[in-house]
Amino acid sequence: GAVVSQHPSRVICKSGTSVKIECRSLDFQATTMFWYRQFPKQSLMLMATSNEGSKATYEQGVEKDKFLINHASLTLSTLTVTSAHPEDSSFYICSARVSSFYGYTFGSGTRLTVV
Amino acid sequence: GENVEQHPSTLSVQEGDSAVIKCTYSDSASNYFPWYKQELGKGPQLIIDIRSNVGEKKDQRIAVTLNKTAKHFSLHITETQPEDSAVYFCAASKSSNQFYFGTGTSLTVIP
Protein backbone atom coordinates (compact mmCIF):
# COMPACT_ATOMS: atom_id res chain seq x y z
CA GLY A 1 0.00 0.00 0.00
CA ALA A 2 0.86 3.67 -0.14
CA VAL A 3 3.55 4.61 2.35
CA VAL A 4 4.59 8.03 3.56
CA SER A 5 7.94 8.24 5.28
CA GLN A 6 8.48 11.13 7.70
CA HIS A 7 11.81 12.10 9.27
CA PRO A 8 13.01 12.76 11.84
CA SER A 9 10.70 11.10 14.33
CA ARG A 10 12.04 13.21 17.18
CA VAL A 11 14.10 16.38 17.25
CA ILE A 12 15.24 18.69 20.01
CA CYS A 13 16.54 22.11 19.05
CA LYS A 14 17.53 25.33 20.73
CA SER A 15 15.40 28.44 20.58
CA GLY A 16 16.18 30.54 17.54
CA THR A 17 17.36 27.70 15.36
CA SER A 18 15.55 26.17 12.39
CA VAL A 19 14.40 22.60 11.96
CA LYS A 20 13.51 20.79 8.75
CA ILE A 21 11.06 17.90 8.63
CA GLU A 22 10.86 15.70 5.55
CA CYS A 23 7.92 13.80 4.20
CA ARG A 24 8.41 11.36 1.34
CA SER A 25 5.92 9.25 -0.57
CA LEU A 26 7.73 5.97 -1.12
CA ASP A 27 5.68 4.11 -3.69
CA PHE A 28 3.44 6.69 -5.25
CA GLN A 29 3.55 10.23 -6.53
CA ALA A 30 1.97 12.80 -4.28
CA THR A 31 1.05 15.99 -6.05
CA THR A 32 -0.56 17.19 -2.84
CA MET A 33 0.70 16.78 0.69
CA PHE A 34 -0.70 18.16 3.90
CA TRP A 35 0.97 19.29 7.09
CA TYR A 36 -0.77 19.00 10.44
CA ARG A 37 0.06 20.02 13.96
CA GLN A 38 -1.20 18.12 16.96
CA PHE A 39 -1.09 19.23 20.58
CA PRO A 40 -1.24 16.62 23.35
CA LYS A 41 -4.62 14.92 23.60
CA GLN A 42 -6.02 17.08 20.83
CA SER A 43 -7.05 16.54 17.26
CA LEU A 44 -5.01 17.24 14.18
CA MET A 45 -5.03 20.81 12.95
CA LEU A 46 -4.34 21.40 9.29
CA MET A 47 -1.52 23.91 8.87
CA ALA A 48 -1.03 23.99 5.14
CA THR A 49 -1.53 22.22 1.87
CA SER A 50 1.63 21.61 -0.12
CA ASN A 51 1.34 21.46 -3.90
CA GLU A 52 4.16 20.15 -6.06
CA GLY A 53 5.75 22.91 -8.07
CA SER A 54 3.74 25.74 -6.58
CA LYS A 55 3.35 27.70 -3.38
CA ALA A 56 1.76 26.11 -0.37
CA THR A 57 -1.69 27.14 0.80
CA TYR A 58 -1.71 28.04 4.46
CA GLU A 59 -4.64 27.85 6.84
CA GLN A 60 -5.77 30.99 8.57
CA GLY A 61 -3.56 31.89 11.49
CA VAL A 62 -0.52 29.92 10.33
CA GLU A 63 2.55 32.08 9.78
CA LYS A 64 3.93 31.51 6.30
CA ASP A 65 7.33 32.93 7.11
CA LYS A 66 7.69 30.77 10.18
CA PHE A 67 6.56 27.47 8.70
CA LEU A 68 8.23 27.22 5.31
CA ILE A 69 6.92 24.50 3.06
CA ASN A 70 8.65 23.25 -0.05
CA HIS A 71 7.27 20.62 -2.41
CA ALA A 72 9.92 20.48 -5.08
CA SER A 73 9.21 16.99 -6.35
CA LEU A 74 6.32 14.56 -6.61
CA THR A 75 7.70 12.50 -3.75
CA LEU A 76 9.08 15.03 -1.27
CA SER A 77 7.63 17.83 0.81
CA THR A 78 9.52 19.59 3.58
CA LEU A 79 8.40 21.72 6.49
CA THR A 80 10.97 24.05 8.00
CA VAL A 81 10.22 25.63 11.35
CA THR A 82 12.28 28.82 11.34
CA SER A 83 13.52 30.64 14.41
CA ALA A 84 11.89 28.04 16.61
CA HIS A 85 10.50 28.96 20.02
CA PRO A 86 9.31 26.74 22.86
CA GLU A 87 5.69 27.35 21.85
CA ASP A 88 6.45 25.66 18.53
CA SER A 89 7.01 22.42 20.40
CA SER A 90 4.41 20.00 19.10
CA PHE A 91 3.78 16.85 17.11
CA TYR A 92 3.90 17.54 13.36
CA ILE A 93 2.38 15.08 10.93
CA CYS A 94 2.34 15.03 7.16
CA SER A 95 -0.07 13.20 4.92
CA ALA A 96 -0.49 12.64 1.23
CA ARG A 97 -3.45 11.97 -0.95
CA VAL A 98 -3.04 8.82 -2.93
CA SER A 99 -3.60 9.74 -6.53
CA SER A 100 -7.17 9.37 -7.87
CA PHE A 101 -8.45 8.22 -4.49
CA TYR A 102 -9.81 10.08 -1.54
CA GLY A 103 -7.75 8.08 0.91
CA TYR A 104 -5.01 9.82 2.85
CA THR A 105 -1.86 8.17 4.11
CA PHE A 106 -0.14 9.72 7.10
CA GLY A 107 3.49 9.87 8.06
CA SER A 108 4.60 8.63 11.46
CA GLY A 109 4.92 12.14 12.84
CA THR A 110 7.75 14.27 14.23
CA ARG A 111 7.96 15.26 17.87
CA LEU A 112 9.59 18.69 17.99
CA THR A 113 10.86 20.00 21.30
CA VAL A 114 12.31 23.50 21.42
CA VAL A 115 14.42 24.24 24.49
CA GLY B 1 -17.10 25.10 6.48
CA GLU B 2 -17.50 21.59 7.79
CA ASN B 3 -17.85 20.90 11.51
CA VAL B 4 -17.20 17.37 12.74
CA GLU B 5 -18.16 16.44 16.28
CA GLN B 6 -17.06 13.20 17.89
CA HIS B 7 -18.30 11.43 21.02
CA PRO B 8 -17.34 10.20 23.48
CA SER B 9 -13.95 11.76 24.16
CA THR B 10 -12.95 8.80 26.31
CA LEU B 11 -14.26 5.25 26.35
CA SER B 12 -13.34 2.28 28.50
CA VAL B 13 -14.60 -1.21 27.76
CA GLN B 14 -13.87 -4.68 29.03
CA GLU B 15 -11.96 -6.96 26.73
CA GLY B 16 -14.39 -8.80 24.50
CA ASP B 17 -17.08 -6.15 24.68
CA SER B 18 -18.03 -3.84 21.84
CA ALA B 19 -17.08 -0.20 21.46
CA VAL B 20 -19.03 2.41 19.53
CA ILE B 21 -17.79 5.87 18.60
CA LYS B 22 -20.10 8.38 16.97
CA CYS B 23 -19.49 11.40 14.76
CA THR B 24 -21.73 14.02 13.26
CA TYR B 25 -20.97 16.39 10.42
CA SER B 26 -22.58 19.57 9.24
CA ASP B 27 -21.93 19.80 5.50
CA SER B 28 -24.32 17.65 3.51
CA ALA B 29 -21.88 17.79 0.58
CA SER B 30 -19.31 15.70 2.46
CA ASN B 31 -19.05 12.33 0.78
CA TYR B 32 -16.07 10.51 2.25
CA PHE B 33 -15.74 9.44 5.88
CA PRO B 34 -12.56 7.71 7.05
CA TRP B 35 -11.67 6.51 10.52
CA TYR B 36 -8.13 6.62 11.82
CA LYS B 37 -6.40 4.91 14.73
CA GLN B 38 -3.54 6.74 16.35
CA GLU B 39 -1.21 5.08 18.82
CA LEU B 40 0.91 7.12 21.17
CA GLY B 41 3.70 8.95 19.37
CA LYS B 42 2.68 7.72 15.95
CA GLY B 43 0.83 9.07 12.96
CA PRO B 44 -2.81 8.13 12.30
CA GLN B 45 -3.47 4.90 10.46
CA LEU B 46 -6.53 4.43 8.29
CA ILE B 47 -8.60 1.55 9.63
CA ILE B 48 -11.80 1.81 7.61
CA ASP B 49 -13.63 4.30 5.44
CA ILE B 50 -17.02 4.73 3.86
CA ARG B 51 -18.40 6.77 1.02
CA SER B 52 -21.75 8.46 0.87
CA ASN B 53 -23.23 5.95 -1.57
CA VAL B 54 -22.87 3.17 1.01
CA GLY B 55 -24.72 2.79 4.31
CA GLU B 56 -22.50 0.24 6.02
CA LYS B 57 -19.11 -1.33 5.59
CA LYS B 58 -17.47 -4.09 7.58
CA ASP B 59 -13.93 -5.37 7.86
CA GLN B 60 -13.54 -8.24 10.32
CA ARG B 61 -14.16 -6.79 13.80
CA ILE B 62 -14.57 -3.23 12.57
CA ALA B 63 -17.64 -1.73 10.96
CA VAL B 64 -18.76 1.75 10.02
CA THR B 65 -22.31 2.93 9.45
CA LEU B 66 -23.43 6.11 7.74
CA ASN B 67 -26.75 7.91 7.98
CA LYS B 68 -26.69 10.66 5.37
CA THR B 69 -30.08 12.03 6.32
CA ALA B 70 -29.08 12.55 9.92
CA LYS B 71 -25.50 13.39 8.94
CA HIS B 72 -23.87 11.01 11.35
CA PHE B 73 -21.59 8.02 11.10
CA SER B 74 -20.34 5.54 13.66
CA LEU B 75 -17.43 3.19 14.22
CA HIS B 76 -18.19 -0.19 15.75
CA ILE B 77 -15.47 -2.44 17.14
CA THR B 78 -16.59 -5.89 18.27
CA GLU B 79 -14.73 -8.39 20.47
CA THR B 80 -12.34 -5.68 21.61
CA GLN B 81 -8.77 -6.59 22.46
CA PRO B 82 -6.16 -4.69 24.49
CA GLU B 83 -4.32 -3.81 21.30
CA ASP B 84 -7.38 -1.87 20.17
CA SER B 85 -6.51 0.71 22.85
CA ALA B 86 -5.63 3.94 21.04
CA VAL B 87 -7.08 7.29 20.01
CA TYR B 88 -9.59 7.09 17.18
CA PHE B 89 -10.40 9.99 14.88
CA CYS B 90 -13.25 10.32 12.46
CA ALA B 91 -13.06 12.66 9.50
CA ALA B 92 -15.25 14.07 6.77
CA SER B 93 -14.26 15.25 3.33
CA LYS B 94 -15.95 16.51 0.20
CA SER B 95 -12.87 17.05 -1.89
CA SER B 96 -9.22 16.15 -1.82
CA ASN B 97 -8.28 19.43 -0.20
CA GLN B 98 -10.96 19.68 2.46
CA PHE B 99 -10.51 17.16 5.21
CA TYR B 100 -11.93 17.76 8.69
CA PHE B 101 -11.12 15.68 11.75
CA GLY B 102 -13.22 14.99 14.80
CA THR B 103 -11.77 15.71 18.21
CA GLY B 104 -10.77 12.12 18.90
CA THR B 105 -11.83 9.32 21.24
CA SER B 106 -9.37 7.71 23.60
CA LEU B 107 -10.34 4.04 23.80
CA THR B 108 -9.06 1.85 26.61
CA VAL B 109 -9.70 -1.87 26.52
CA ILE B 110 -9.37 -3.35 29.98
CA PRO B 111 -7.97 -6.90 30.03
Residue-level pLDDT at A29: 85
Residue-level pLDDT at A51: 86
- Of the ranges A24-38, A81-95, B10-24, B95-109, which one carries the lowest mean pLDDT score? B95-109
pLDDT > 70? residue A99:
no
Cα of B103 to nearest chain A Cα, Å: 5
Residues in A closer than 8 angstroms to B34, CB to CB, are: 102-104
Closest Cα in chain A to B104: A43
CB pair distance less than 8 Å for B104 and A43:
yes
Please state the separation of Cα A61 from the chain's center in Å: 16
Taking one residue from A and the other from B, the number of pairs with CB-CB distance under 8 angstroms is 50
pLDDT > 80? residue B13:
yes
Quote the Cα angle for A102-A108-A110, to 5°.
Answer: 120
Q: Bigger pLDDT: A98 or B73?
A: B73
How confident is residue A11, by pLDDT bands cut at 50, 70 and 90? very high
User: What is the average pLDDT score of chain B?
Assistant: 93
CA distance B97 to B33: 14
Q: Compute CA distances A3 → A74, B23, B38, B43, B90, whole Å.
A: 14, 27, 16, 12, 20
pLDDT > 60? residue B67:
yes
CB pair distance less than 8 Å for A102 and B43:
no
Residue-level pLDDT at B96: 56
CA distance B89 to B15: 21
Is the preceding peptide bond at B8 cis, omega within 30 degrees of 0? yes
